[in-house]
Structure 1
Amino acid sequence: MLQDYKLKIEFDNCSYDSPYLIEGCANSCIELIIESENFPTLQSKKNVQKELQSVIRVELGKFKWIIYNDVNLEFVWYFSCLRKKESDKIGDIDNLIKPIIDTFSGDNGVFIDDSQIGSINNSWMSRDISSSQNSILRIFIHFNNDDCCIKKNMQFVQVEKQMYAVYNFDINSVDDLYRVLTLHHIQRKRREIQNKNPNMEIFSTDFNLFHRTRLKDIPNNKIYTWDKFKQLCIDAGLNFKELLRRERMRL
């Protein structure tokens, strides 16, 4: 039997279209409010888990941007105390969150991979059931809106071996390709120096870097090996002569 899920989203300093609404304010939060009689657990049948996952993914698919740095998650469950403690109808809250977290990552989610999760706070409170037997879940996704990019132009370019950097660029824009080529060259050189001198403390983690295995939910046409990206630049007209001309213009 299909579950009836009611979902709505509320925003704090963000929207479907933008990761921020207030210029200069870096803190944003997405809140999902889900109501249902029962929630699937990690032990539930796959088709039961997919019912809720599908409802969440449809809503998250409306977001035009994605987070590439750390996120902090907060789950607050409102259950009937009697159902929670005196029956087996409500699962362990640790097992309840896993099917939900899986919906947040990837091209149609709100962040790239669950390795970005910095913390998870999971708690429950007793709910008055005089008006409804349903349980309610409130999910808060806290993030820094400086570390977001638009999904439409999100691309990944190989930096070294299995490491890929996320950038925002239009593959048909020569100016965008030149900008990313310059940034990418700097990042590759920094990584080379860091790898040769691992004890140097002046370097910090590049939050736009992801291991190739972390991009399993990203379409392959958005992932470029270094050779493939160089060829993309050449095909766009960024040959050595053009690169030299642009560099001279900068001086």
Structure 2
Amino acid sequence: MSKEKWDRNRLFLSSGELEIVINENPVSLQASRRKKDIITSAICKVTSNCEFMLTDDVQIYIEWWIHEQNRYETDSSADVDNIIKPILDAISGPDGILINDCQVQAVDCRWLDFFNAEQRINIRIKMLDRDGWLLKDGLFFMHMWNGLCYPTWMDEENPENTLLIVEQMERMLMLRDERLRQKENYYLAKMLMPVQRIFHISRIKGFPVFKVEEIKDKIKAILKNQR
């Protein structure tokens, strides 16, 4: 990563928090696709500039700034509980900052009186694990088995490193599954796995996904060309 890119993201990784501020009205879960796309576009203008994808659990804090009169004396403002899902969807996926909103461990959502007629949304994303991130550039998922996919990063300069990770992850998941077949407690078996979270394939839409053997063949081809 270049020094410029690192400088843009260093504060986020060191603080463990990212704040997104958009000057748009929040929309409810029942809103039209067009209205939801406005929120998604505004949020992605911020998240697409982040070079990292969070891969572990997070907590989300949402503040909706709206004039009290608009909140109470009109029928156009959404319910507080209904504005959460469109926001979580917008921060998830390849252009977002999360793989999937299943990573959200807790949400705090509230509206606050705002003297300005224009509404505003403040979204704060707090990492629960400072090491729970990967570079977006080169990010892909290994499709293991049983629909389980492991996120990792293609090291173009040293592809041997990626190959080692792929082979190690394959061994660890096999050991874990063997313990589960022996009726061992899930949490004890989980200790055989790396810290990096594994995802079900249904939760990684839009990301590059390769089967393990495909990845191995790709890396071996890269190594062959480098010789």
TM above 0.5: yes
Q: Distance in 2 between matches of 1:234 and 1:85?
A: 63
Cα deviation for residue 237 of structure 1 reads 5.0
- Measured in 1, the distance between the counterparts of 2:219 and 2:169 equals 12
Aligned twin of 2:206: 217
Alignment of 1:100-249 (within 5 A): 100-127=87-114, 129=115, 132-143=116-127, 144-170=129-155, 173-200=158-185, 201-204=187-190, 207-218=196-207, 222-237=208-223
User: Which has more radius of gyration?
Assistant: 1
SS at the partner of 1:177?
helix
1:31 is aligned to 2:19: yes
- Alpha carbon RMSD of aligned pairs, Å? 2.4
What 5-or-longer segments of structure 1 have no aligned partner? 1-13, 239-251
The alignment partner of 2:214 has SS state of helix
TM-score in terms of structure 2 length: 0.83
TM-score with structure 1 setting the length: 0.75
Deviations for 1:196-249, whole angstroms, at most 9, x for unmatched residues?
13433423375421111111131xxx21112212322443458xxxxxxxxxxx
- Give the structure 2 partner of residue 6 of structure 1: none
CA–CA distance in 2 between the matches of 1:86 and 1:145?
Answer: 43
1:17 maps onto 2:17 in alignment: no
Amino acid in structure 2 at the alignment position of 1:166: P
Unaligned stretches of 5+ residues in structure 2: 1-5
2 CA distance for matches of 1:180 and 1:120?
33
Q: Which SS does the other structure have where 2:92 is aligned?
A: coil
Q: Which has the higher helix share?
A: 2
1:140-161 deviations in Å (ceiling 9; x for gaps):
1000221101011212112222
Secondary structure at 1:165's aligned position in 2?
A: strand
Asked if 1:57 is matched to 2:44, the reply is: yes
Partner Cα distance (2:222, 2:139) in 1: 18
Work out whether residues 106 and 215 of structure 1, in 8 Å CA contact, stay in contact via their aligned partners in 2.
yes
Give the corresponding residue for 2:81: 94
Evaluate the alpha carbon distance shift between residue 231 and residue 41 of structure 1 in structure 2; reply closer, same or farther with a 3 A threshold.
Answer: same
CA distance in 1 between counterparts of 2:84 and 2:188 reads: 38
Corresponding residue pairs, total: 214
User: How far apart are the structure 2 equivalents of 1:185 and 1:19?
Assistant: 34
CA distance in 2, matches of 1:99, 1:15: 30
Cα distance, 1:76–1:152 mapped onto 2, change above 3 Å: same
Per-residue CA shift, 1:48-92, capped at 9, x if unaligned?
Answer: 221221121122111111001111111112222221112212111
What is the percent sequence identity of the aligned residues?
Answer: 19
